[in-house]
A and B are shown apart, each in its own frame.
Chain A
């Protein structure tokens, strides 16, 4: 089987890191594979992740016909426009397996429409997908990102055009199953630590507890809420140090800095780091905070890194994080009350040894679950199913195109009759396109 693996390889792309690991595992299984870069030309020149595989750039390619040489195309889809523009552009022309890293791909979609000069049509595409009146939202609260995730994430729009789809968590699997005509599979995201990380330090109950949050600092990481929660308890304020590890805007830096000063919390913000510096940060942490609201990603690379590192990990109990075992993470109810965080941190402070054991167990479980080997095996099974389903999906696409050229949508009674007719003829029993 020859696979074209479409992904960004930009040095700062977590999806790129993931792709390097998975493609290595696929190569070990005898698969012929090329890496196909999907970044826009503007970021293509920046440093990229190394790979020994053949690398093809989609930027500047006049048409995508040459992609047809692959048996299977895997498109890694994330919401970052600069990184994934060409993945979307090619996936719309030559359908493949879409790997949905994010639950929200509205930004990718919208920017893509703008880039194509079709901004005017964006609203009608959204409303065709999600029902008329969805966009633009009439109520201000529906403009919020939480509403976007729920109402017009555009997952369904792209999944409907994919040969097959991968979810990295169960929390958005039903959305793909309901929209993608081909096989759909949940595969746990595979991820590695940035570098070897030592065991959790032995800590006495007198030591300062070093709490760390990894990743680009933005609203949905709840940094402000965490600082407030630490600050409201004199006990925690005294005993904890909080580090925000990752890129940060100047505005965010100064507002969080003022907040920490006001609440008396010991806060350090590193700014963007190299992989090795990141590893050092994880190494020196006593626990990692992975609180996200809303959940925008299919699976959290930082939560996986946190668990792999053997550091106890605190998460909000929703989305992907809800799917992590209760006994291997410290969970806070999704509505986030400051005292819920206080309780978990207090437990860490008072229980150094149980914390260490929890972290160690989590590391074992995460290593087994989020493994590139398992990912590669599951992906290959899906790819075979997708190949099997491909002729029928192509027929479905052709029939759909004919019907829509006549102005008949997918809910038209004739479309339903014809779909039924195609299934009974080519796929008696209809077993091909179900979840596997």
Chain B
């Protein structure tokens, strides 16, 4: 089958949003399908959004592709008789972020009229799809409440999950992700002030402008945490990541209110590591069950410190939780075979 995978992008701004498309294409190729990835530009400015959406609408993939899988908005407005969505997010500023300062137009008659037309267009275009999948329960709920559209959650796996192996349960709590304010690595660093055991923390990841990294380092310096906290401010290779995660004591991932559980959660679970998160982290809560495969803490250093200490004190329990995390992947049917089957069903 010839499958076109289409998503929007902003040239030169590389986001994690590209992986899911590229990985799915690779998996479909493995299953003998021909794929074509189509990245189209989109600028989210109210003045021209509609005409850009019309540009997408005019694209003809029906002649060349047997199937269209659409990802980021507004890729799904491309018409196709056999269209499936893997819906990652809305134009959030016009949806769940409308009542926040992120709203790009006034909440007046004019702005509301614009919003209602956008929602009408989304409803029409998403409504044409044969199947609608999302990446998380949160996004499915939003599709239901804003658009009245039912969808299935299809959790995104990571590429070649078999790379992750379970090693010894070491001394470090590990967090591998971009160093950004909304990922809240500062909570983890602050937690190290309060740990009572010999547990250590390792942060790996780049911050886009270096500011957040500087902030983290200041906290380390302020509380003299140099011996307990290692910060690697760089993009680590996949091989390094496999090694670091596979030998960790546990994996921490404490973003603020994200839609999906995030790749760090999944990588930790694949390596049979116990997972630490906070109850305001959003998508991680779909995966992590407190006490069974990790800890769901208060978003406070003391609470996180207690979880770190608990993992240090009881390695057997840490190991059991890590194994439960691995099982959780299967329970949630997170894996490429299930994704490929769903996408082509």
Chain A interface residues toward B at CB < 8 A: 1, 71, 384, 387-392, 394-395, 398-399, 402, 418, 421-422, 424-428
Contact = CB atoms under 8 A, between A and B. Distances in A.
Contacts of A1: 108-109
Contacts of B53: 425
Interface string B278-318: 00000000000000000000000000000000000000000
B113 A425 contact: no
B279 to A, nearest CB: 40
Contact of B51 (A71, A390, A395, A424): A395
A427 B120 contact: yes
Contacts of B51: 395, 398-399, 402
Chain A contact surface mostly = helix
A421 to B, nearest CB: 6
Closest 6 CB pairs of A and B: A387-B109, A395-B50, A388-B113, A391-B114, A426-B121, A398-B51
A391 B124 contact: no
B57 interface: yes
26 contacts: A1-B108, A1-B109, A71-B109, A384-B109, A387-B109, A387-B110, A388-B113, A388-B116, A389-B113, A391-B113, A391-B114, A392-B50, A394-B50, A395-B51, A399-B51, A399-B54, A418-B54, A418-B58, A421-B58, A422-B57, A424-B124, A425-B54, A425-B57, A426-B50, A426-B121, A428-B124
Contacts of A402: 51
B199 interface: no
A418 B109 CA distance: 27
A210 B51 CA distance: 63
Nearest to A397: B51
A428 B120 contact: yes
Given A398-B50, A421-B54, A425-B77, 4 more contacts: A390-B113, A394-B50, A418-B58, A425-B57
B57 to A, nearest CB: 6
Interface string B97-113: 00000000000111001
B215 interface: no
Interface residues of B, number: 20
B117 interface: yes
Contact of A71 (B108, B120, B124, B125): B108
- Secondary structure dominating the interface of B: helix
Contacts of B54: 395, 399, 418, 421-422, 425
A32 to B, nearest CB: 12
Contacts of B57: 421-422, 425
Interface in B14-67: 48, 50-51, 53-54, 57-58
Nearest to A417: B58
Contacts of B113: 387-391
Contacts of A394: 50
A283 B57 CA distance: 65
Interface of B: 48, 50-51, 53-54, 57-58, 77, 108-110, 113-114, 116-117, 120-121, 123-125
Best-surrounded residue of B114, B117, B121, B123 (most CB of chain A within 10 A): B117
A1 B53 CA distance: 29
Nearest to B79: A421
A423 to B, nearest CB: 10
A22 B48 CA distance: 35
B128 to A, nearest CB: 10
Contacts of A387: 109-110, 113
Contacts of A398: 48, 50-51
A390 B125 CA distance: 21
B110 A390 contact: yes
A336 B182 CA distance: 81
Contacts of B109: 1, 71, 384, 387-388
A418 B125 CA distance: 16
Contacts of A390: 110, 113
Contacts of A399: 51, 54
A388 B108 CA distance: 11
Nearest to B125: A425
A71 B110 contact: yes
Interface centre among A384, A389, A391, A394 (most CB of B within 10 A): A391
B108 A427 contact: no
Contact of A391 (B77, B117, B125): B117
Contacts of B117: 391-392, 426-427
Contacts of B116: 388
A159 B54 CA distance: 25
Nearest to A421: B57
A153 B69 CA distance: 52
Contacts of B114: 391
A198 B256 CA distance: 75
Nearest to B124: A428
Nearest to A432: B117
B299 to A, nearest CB: 40
A36 B48 CA distance: 29
A71 B105 CA distance: 13
A418 B53 CA distance: 12
Contacts of B50: 391-392, 394-395, 398, 426
B44 to A, nearest CB: 15
Contacts of A425: 53-54, 57, 77, 121, 124-125
A428 B48 CA distance: 20
A135 B57 CA distance: 39
B201 to A, nearest CB: 50
Nearest to A429: B120
